[in-house]
Homo-oligomer: A and B are copies of this chain.
Amino acid sequence: MGPQPAPLPELRLVDHHCHGVLRTHPDRTAFEALLTESDAPAAPGTTFFDTQLGFAVRRLCPPLLGLDPHCAPEPYLARRRELGAEESGRRLLRAAGIAEFLVDTGLPGDLTEPRELAALGGGRAREIVRLEHLAERCADGIADTDDTADTAAPERFVTALATGIRSAARTAAGFKSVAAYRHGLHLDPDEPHRDEVLRAAAHWLDGRSTGTRLGDPVLLRHLLWSAARTGLPLQLHTGFGDPDLRLQHSDPLLLTDFIKAVRPTGCTLVLLHGYPFHRNAGYLAHVFPHVYADVGLALTHTGARATAVLAELLELTPFGKLLFSTDGYGLPELYVVGAHLFREALAELTTALVASGAWSRPDADRVANMIASGNAQRVYGTTATATA
């Protein structure tokens, strides 16, 4: 393999799943923590810079701040601090070249709002509403004004949640669920009855303190079905993530019965990430018309292996069913890496496929544009309602 073909710089990118970036400069420990899905410091004698993602950051980001590629972590972090969070963020995000950001706003931390992220990145932004976060805010709201032991609290919670979802559906581009983290995807597939939901709400609210996370499987199912009924696309975390989840419980195949059950509502399901079960996600996108797959952190975290992983995703996933995202969170570097690796992997794959005669060049360009932005535009609608 010689030098890789130039990435496709002209490719318009819609990042259909990302988060905000930190408003302040992180120190090395905080920076490293955002390079991994681990919830602990690196093992003694190791660093999270010594990962595919760390190497990709060191390759791609230093030149954007005036340093050599592959420069060591310390001078890179020093230069970043010198420029400040806003200026380094602007330089990095602009270089990512993302035209539109769909931003999951349900993560904690001092993060940019969608509008700010779009301004830094020179693009537009829309919101993706995280269901569990919405439900927790509803519960916090109930708690602010009521005695949660109040027998009417479950009713009020369910009503507030319905209102919240309806209201979100008017402006958001879609919903997202992290049921994989909170319970696992081995959920009962059917919509829970109102009585069940009320009982589960009563149980969860009883003695709950503000901020307590929602992990009750009945309430998680209620969220999924409520979102599905809005007609907006519903993103589901699947596969690899932090150790809150059990990886075997985030295999997208566990959603098969839910996918079948929810199909009559006409909703669209987008299976995020999927790695290392991305071939399973591709199968589901292949056989179910309302299911889509995503590249997400399957590329960002595998770095120099992004081409190989994307190739696996493109085995069964119909080309009209795969969507680009960075899953960028906290560090603007993750948007650079996600966007660059995606462009490079697509260019490398399609160059080889065209050279071998397997694909035609016009088809290759058409497919690249579909995955980069066309499929997301069809699934999430036009950008007319973008917030920036």
Residues of chain A having any CB pair with chain B under 8 Å: 1-4, 36-48, 50-52, 55-56, 59, 69-70, 240, 242-243, 246-248, 251, 253-254, 256-257, 260, 275-276, 279-280, 283-284, 286-290, 301-305, 308-309, 311-312, 314-316, 318-321, 352-353, 355-360, 363, 367, 370, 378
In the bound complex, how far is the Cα of B349 from the Cα of A1, in angstroms?
10
List, in ascending order, chain B residues with CB within 8 A of A240's CB. Answer: 283, 316
- Given the known interface contacts A276-B283, A315-B309, the answer about A42 and B320 at a Cβ–Cβ threshold of 8 Å is yes
Are B315 and A302 in contact, with the CB atoms below 8 A?
yes
Are A304 and B70 in contact, with the CB atoms below 8 A?
no
List, in ascending order, chain B residues with CB within 8 A of A367's CB. Answer: 50
Name the contact of A243 in the complex, choosing from B44, B50, B288, B353 (C-beta under 8 A): B288
Are B320 and A47 in contact, with the CB atoms below 8 A?
yes
List, in ascending order, chain B residues with CB within 8 A of A378's CB. Answer: 44-45
**A206 → chain B closest CB, angstroms:** 28
Are A305 and B315 in contact, with the CB atoms below 8 A?
yes
Question: In the complex, which residue of chain B has the Cβ closest to the Cβ of A348?
Answer: B356
Are A304 and B69 in contact, with the CB atoms below 8 A?
no
- Given the known interface contacts A288-B243, A316-B302, A320-B50, the answer about A70 and B356 at a Cβ–Cβ threshold of 8 Å is no
Are B3 and A43 in contact, with the CB atoms below 8 A?
no
Are B50 and A358 in contact, with the CB atoms below 8 A?
no
Question: In the complex, which residue of chain B has the Cβ closest to the Cβ of A359?
Answer: B55
Name the contact of A314 in the complex, choosing from B43, B47, B52 (C-beta under 8 A): B52
Are A248 and B253 in contact, with the CB atoms below 8 A?
yes
Are A246 and B242 in contact, with the CB atoms below 8 A?
no
Name the contact of A242 in the complex, choosing from B56, B279, B287, B312 (C-beta under 8 A): B287
List, in ascending order, chain B residues with CB within 8 A of A320's CB. Answer: 42-43, 45-47, 50
Are B248 and A251 in contact, with the CB atoms below 8 A?
yes
Are B288 and A301 in contact, with the CB atoms below 8 A?
no
Provide 11 A-B residue pairs closer than 8 Å at the C-beta atoms, listed in order of the A residue.
A2-B355, A45-B378, A50-B367, A51-B286, A70-B360, A70-B363, A246-B256, A276-B316, A302-B315, A305-B311, A305-B314
Are B319 and A50 in contact, with the CB atoms below 8 A?
yes
Are A289 and B42 in contact, with the CB atoms below 8 A?
yes
Question: In the complex, which residue of chain B has the Cβ closest to the Cβ of A251?
Answer: B248
Are A59 and B359 in contact, with the CB atoms below 8 A?
yes
Are B280 and A276 in contact, with the CB atoms below 8 A?
yes
List, in ascending order, chain B residues with CB within 8 A of A359's CB. Answer: 55, 59, 70, 304
- Given the known interface contacts A253-B247, A287-B38, A319-B51, the answer about A311 and B314 at a Cβ–Cβ threshold of 8 Å is no
In the bound complex, how far is the Cα of B37 from the Cα of A247, in angstroms?
27
- Given the known interface contacts A40-B288, A254-B248, A286-B37, the answer about A357 and B316 at a Cβ–Cβ threshold of 8 Å is no
List, in ascending order, chain B residues with CB within 8 A of A51's CB. Answer: 286, 316, 318-319
Are B3 and A280 in contact, with the CB atoms below 8 A?
no
List, in ascending order, chain B residues with CB within 8 A of A248's CB. Answer: 251, 253-254, 256
Name the contact of A260 in the complex, choosing from B41, B243, B257 (C-beta under 8 A): B243
Question: In the complex, which residue of chain B has the Cβ closest to the Cβ of A263?
Answer: B40
List, in ascending order, chain B residues with CB within 8 A of A318's CB. Answer: 36, 42-43, 46, 48, 50-51
In the bound complex, how far is the Cα of B223 from the Cα of A386, in angstroms?
59
List, in ascending order, chain B residues with CB within 8 A of A316's CB. Answer: 51-52, 240, 276, 301-302
